């Protein structure tokens, strides 16, 4: 059975953020992830991780003005300095919180920036970030995101991401594979996972349509979870979905869909 981590940015959303750690432990999770920690002091988060014996498996680099629709800045040549500052802030939090994986959002392609220049900027920024994280044993992840939910997003396909990892040629850059996004963009999930799993260090799940719990849509999750076991994937699987109702009431999918080891 995969190791499931609760995404505290989406799950238990009837509670305040800092209350969600206790809820995740009570629901049987050993790991948690979330989008951003930066609205809180590290001591606030670390205290809850320690109190409830939870591992923080992932969070994102700062992504700009999220409320205004920004989804990262790593492909924007006009914001290289801001990106580098964001790496330093993320690293500060990651070291304090014991995080070993940080996700770098690529950002949206600005209409005034040529795709080739955005690509070159993204590669340079990833090399910079990976170099800063490496001495701390932290992996940098990139994730293709579907351009229906996020129009204009620069990184949208799994093989595009794999090619960028190869081009960067650093030892601590890997893929974050979100099943929901890749079902919307590509399909062919099993073949892609077989091909690219050596590059994958984190997986996230939600169903299509609606981005709700696994088992509520078209994706054959019993098959995919079995495939991950077959392939020997031993990383975390982040539950990054919008609950259709109460989070706890909807968690039965873990026993129904994931094979026991």
Cα distance between residue 44 and residue 50, in whole Å: 10
Active site residues: 143, 240
Cα distance between residue 67 and residue 107, in whole Å: 14
Q: What is the CA radius of gyration of the chain?
A: 18
Stretch (H or E) spanning 93: helix 80-97
**Is the separation of the CB atoms in 206 and 240 below 8 Å?**
yes
User: In a 10 Å sphere around its CB, with 0-12 CB exposed, 13-18 middle and 19+ buried, how is residue 110 labelled?
Assistant: middle
Q: In angstroms, how far is CA 36 from the centroid of its own chain?
A: 11
């Amino acid at each position: 059975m995969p190791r499931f981590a609760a995404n505290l940015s989406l799950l238990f959303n009837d509670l305040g953020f800092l209350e969600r750690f206790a809820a995740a432990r009570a629901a049987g999770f050993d790991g948690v992830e979330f989008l951003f920690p930066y609205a809180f002091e590290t001591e606030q988060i670390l205290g809850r991780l320690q109190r409830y014996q939870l591992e923080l498996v992932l969070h994102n680099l700062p992504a700009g003005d999220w409320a205004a629709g920004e989804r990262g800045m790593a492909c924007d040549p006009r914001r290289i300095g801001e990106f580098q500052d964001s790496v330093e802030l993320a690293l500060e939090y990651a070291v304090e919180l014991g995080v070993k994986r940080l996700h770098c959002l690529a950002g949206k392609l600005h209409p005034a920036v040529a795709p080739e220049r955005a690509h070159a900027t993204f590669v340079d920024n990833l090399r910079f970030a990976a170099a800063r994280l490496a001495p701390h044993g932290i992996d940098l992840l990139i994730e293709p995101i579907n351009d229906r939910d996020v129009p204009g997003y620069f990184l949208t396909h799994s093989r595009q991401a794999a090619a960028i990892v190869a081009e960067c040629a650093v030892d601590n850059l890997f893929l974050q594979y979100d099943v929901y996004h890749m079902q919307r963009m590509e399909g062919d999930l099993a073949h892609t996972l077989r091909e690219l799993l050596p590059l994958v260090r984190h997986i996230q799940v939600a169903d299509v349509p609606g981005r709700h719990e696994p088992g509520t849509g078209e994706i054959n999750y019993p098959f995919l979870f079995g495939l991950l076991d077959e392939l020997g994937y031993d990383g975390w699987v982040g539950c990054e979905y919008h609950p259709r109702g109460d989070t706890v009431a909807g968690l039965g999918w873990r026993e129904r869909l994931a094979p026991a080891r």
